[in-house]
């Protein structure tokens, strides 16, 4: 399988994120993508290729140009405004109750993007978990190019291709970044596929978290079906979206399928959810499926609470590929660094119908002790 990778992700070199008001070690770090790249190279069955530049148009097809401009200038603004922080995190977010009683028209006319960069980050951001650093914008653009190059490979005839996107994308909405995500790589890819083919597209999102951004972007669209298996938002980020009764509206009514799972969800629970998701893919036309692939469903993930093991990724990859649809597979989350490479190898080999044997040099045992 072809793998699209760009070293520009290294420019998004975050060290801390903020969690409930304090700085904690970042989860979404460069080592993640490097672990996956190293494992796929060691496998021998994957061919790495760099992305080609696709420009800004496919991004503003999906995102507010104001979000793009903010992300472009945020770091230089932080410095210009003399704020000596190692990363940008918002000061104030516009909670919806701040505007209670105001009409939609009044809100549109009166609520503006502020000038202070801490206010601007609140205007465009969802949360304080997406630290922005000097290289974030360049890395985010490169991640989009990785996704769109993966689309090109599949539209060019590959049965499946994998884009090693970093930063991830599925929490980014049309006018909002957050949850370690800046541009929604999968949504940009799905939209580009509808444009190029005129066909319907399904997104299957198997990251541990609900992809609120992807859901928002396609909420009213009949041409992109969004299917997500994730931790129940009653107990987990993004908290405010991701319930089973969110089904889309207008042209998009019935095109959004959320499958929330309980804490401790097992391989068996996950495969049952996968079968429901696969059924929803097969219920609509279209030759291409976008996979938002996360490994934070893994039993040892530091921010997840599912109990999946490496073998189940092979089987999920196999079942998604068994739809017969061509797959644009894009990396989202997954934060247990020692297992990321093996889990990615397992999933992708499953999608190719190849068997999976662990690499002896993985330096890590599934029983729970990390040995390297």
Point out which residues bind ligand Q9C (CB under 6 A): 19, 129, 168, 171, 179-181, 207, 209, 237, 294, 296, 303, 332-333
Task: Report the nearest approach of ligand Q9C to the CB of residue 160 (Å).
Answer: 21
**Active-site residue identified among 9, 63, 170, 171:** 171
Select from ligand Q9C, Zn ion, none the partner in contact with residue 307, using the beta carbon and a kind-dependent cut-off of 5 to 8 Å. none
Among 177, 208, 356, 364, binds Zn ion (CB under 5 A): 208
What angle do the packed helices 310-321 and 267-282 form, to 10 degrees?
10
- DSSP secondary structure, 20-38, as one string: TTEEEE-SS-HHHHHHHHH
Q: How far is the CB of 151 from ligand Q9C (least distance, A)?
A: 20
Q: How many CB atoms lie within 10 A of CB 58?
A: 20
171 is catalytic: yes
What count of other Cβ atoms lies within 10 Å of the Cβ of residue 323? Answer: 16
| Residue 290 phi, psi (nearest 5) | -95, 130
* Cβ contacts of 152 within 8 Å, gap of 6 or more: 52
306 binds Zn ion (CB under 5 A): no
Sign of the alpha-carbon torsion through 57, 59, 61, 66 = negative
209 interacts with Zn ion by CB under 5 A:
yes
Say which entry of Zn ion, ligand Q9C, none residue 180 contacts (CB below 5 to 8 A, set by partner kind). ligand Q9C
> Least CB distance from residue 169 to Zn ion, whole Å?
11
**What separation, in Å, do the N-terminal and C-terminal C-alpha atoms of the chain show?**
27
301 lies in the site for Zn ion, by CB under 5 A: no
CA dist 284 and 264 (Å) reads 31
Which of 207, 246, 255, 301: binder of Zn ion (CB under 5 A)?
207
Scored b (16 or more CB within 10 A) or e, 119-156 reads bbbbbbbbbbbbbbbbbbbbbbbbbbbbbbbbbbbbbe
Name the residue nearer to ligand Q9C (CB basis): 195 or 243. 243
Which of 252, 333, 341, 350 binds Zn ion (CB under 5 A)? It is 333
Residue 43 or 301: the one with the smaller Cβ distance to Zn ion is 301
- Residue 303 interface partner, choices ligand Q9C, Zn ion, none, CB cut-off 5-8 Å depending on type: ligand Q9C
Q: Under the criterion CB under 5 A, does residue 296 sit at the interface with Zn ion?
A: yes
What is the smallest separation between the CB atom of 183 and ligand Q9C, expressed in angstroms? 12
Work out whether 237 is an interface residue with Zn ion (CB under 5 A).
Answer: no
Q: Is the backbone of residue 324 left (phi > 0), alpha (psi -120 to 50) or beta?
A: left
The distance of closest approach from Cβ of residue 12 to ligand Q9C in the complex, given in angstroms and rounded to an integer, is 13
Residue 284 Rama label (left phi>0; alpha psi -120 to 50; beta): beta
Measured from the CB atom, the residue of 19 and 99 that comes closer to ligand Q9C is 19
Cite the active site residues.
Answer: 171
């Amino acid at each position: 399988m072809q793998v699209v990778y760009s070293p520009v992700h290294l420019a998004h070199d975050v060290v801390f994120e903020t969690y409930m008001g304090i700085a904690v070690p970042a989860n979404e770090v460069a080592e993640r993508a490097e672990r996956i790249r190293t494992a796929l190279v060691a496998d021998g069955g994957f061919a790495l290729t760099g992305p080609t530049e696709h420009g800004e148009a496919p991004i503003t097809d999906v995102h507010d140009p104001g979000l793009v401009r903010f992300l472009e200038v945020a770091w230089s603004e932080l410095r210009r405004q003399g704020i000596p922080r190692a990363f940008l995190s918002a000061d104030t977010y516009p909670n919806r109750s701040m505007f209670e009683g105001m009409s939609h028209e009044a809100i549109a006319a009166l609520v503006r993007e502020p000038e202070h960069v801490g206010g601007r980050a609140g205007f465009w951001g969802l949360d304080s978990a997406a630290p922005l650093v000097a290289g974030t914008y360049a890395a985010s653009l490169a991640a989009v190019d990785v996704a769109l190059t993966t689309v090109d490979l599949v539209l060019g005839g590959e049965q499946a291709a994998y884009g090693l996107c970093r930063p991830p994308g599925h929490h980014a909405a049309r006018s909002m970044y957050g949850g370690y995500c800046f541009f929604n790589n999968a949504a940009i890819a799905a939209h580009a596929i509808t444009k190029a083919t005129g066909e319907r597209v399904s997104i299957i999102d198997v990251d541990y978290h609900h992809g609120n951004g992807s859901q928002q972007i396609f909420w009213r669209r009949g041409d992109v079906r969004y299917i997500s298996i994730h931790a129940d938002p009653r107990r987990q980020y993004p908290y405010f979206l991701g319930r089973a009764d969110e089904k889309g509206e207008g042209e998009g009514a019935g095109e959004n399928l959320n499958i929330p799972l309980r804490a401790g969800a097992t391989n068996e629970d996950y495969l049952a959810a996968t079968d429901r998701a696969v059924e929803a893919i097969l219920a609509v036309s279209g030759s291409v499926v976008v996979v938002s692939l996360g490994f934070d469903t893994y039993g040892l993930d530091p921010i997840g609470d599912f109990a999946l093991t490496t073998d189940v990724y092979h089987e999920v990859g196999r079942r998604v590929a068994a739809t017969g649809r061509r797959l644009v597979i894009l990396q989202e989350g997954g934060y247990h660094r020692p297992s990321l490479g093996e889990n990615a190898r397992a999933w992708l080999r499953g999608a190719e119908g190849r068997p999976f044997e662990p690499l002896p040099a993985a330096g890590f045992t599934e029983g729970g002790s990390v040995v390297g």
